[in-house]
Amino acid sequence: MSITGTLAQNKVRVTKEIDQIHSEKYYGKIISDSGKDVLELSLTETMHLVNKGELTLKDGRKKLNNEVVYERFCEIDAEFPQKYTVYADLRERGYIVKSGFKFGTHFRVYSRGVNPYKEGQKEQKEHTKWVVHAVPENYTLSYQEMSRSVRLAQNIRTKMLWAVVDSENEVTYYEIYRLRP
C-alpha cells in the first residue's frame, strides 16, 4: 500500500497514515498545520520512500514517477544527488537517518534499532552516533571547514563522517577527528 505525499516547496507533506511512516519507520517530522498533525518529509526521505514503493508523490493531482521526482529534487537542491546516495546507503544498512541541518551538516545518524523519538530527559534520550556530510569525490575542503565540523561533532559528543560519493555512486566514509597530544 502506497501513502500519498504532496510537494510543498522543498518539503513533502503527508496527511494520512502518518504513524505508519513516522513512528514505525522513523521518517519525517510531525508538525501542526491548522491544528491537524502533518508529517513533513525531507527530499531525501521522500525519494527513498518513493523508490521503495511506499510513497506516491503528487504535484497537484498529477502522480509523479521516480525519474521525475529525482529530477525535480535535483532542481530544488544542487547537492541532492550525493545527499540522496548517502542517505539511501545509510538507510539500507539499517541506520536511522535524520536531518543534521541544525548542526551545519547533512545528516544525524542513529544506531540500528534505537528510537530517535524516545521521550524523557536529555540523558535518557538516544544519542546521535555520527553527523554526516555528503560530498562528491571532486569536493575541495578547507582546513577551516574541516576543523569547524570536527569541533562541532565533538561538542555534541559524536563523530564526524565525510561521505564521499564517487562517479559510480559508491560511498566511502571518512571519520575525521581531532587529536590532542
Residue-wise pLDDT tens digits, 76-102: 999 999 999 999 999 999 999 999 888
**pLDDT above 70 (res 118):** no
3-state secondary structure of 51: helix
Average per-residue pLDDT for the chain: 87
Reported as a single tens digit per residue, the pLDDT across 38-53 is 999 999 999 999 999 9
3-state secondary structure of 43: helix
Reported as a single tens digit per residue, the pLDDT across 62-75 is 889 999 999 999 99
Q: Which residues pair with 160 in a beta bridge?
A: 131, 176
**DSSP per-residue string spanning 72-99:** HHHHH-TTHHHHHHHHHHHHHTT-EEEE
Dist. CA 93–CA 107, nearest whole Å: 15
Give the other-Cβ count within 10 Å of 93's Cβ.
11
Q: Identify the CA nearest to 80 among candidates 53, 46, 52, 50.
A: 46
Domains and CATH numbers, the chain: 1-77 (3.40.1170.20), 78-181 (3.40.1350.10)
Query: What percent of the chain lies above the pLDDT cut of 70?
Result: 92
Q: Identify the CA nearest to 135 among candidates 102, 94, 91, 105.
A: 105
pTM of the model: 0.88
**pLDDT above 70 (res 139):** yes
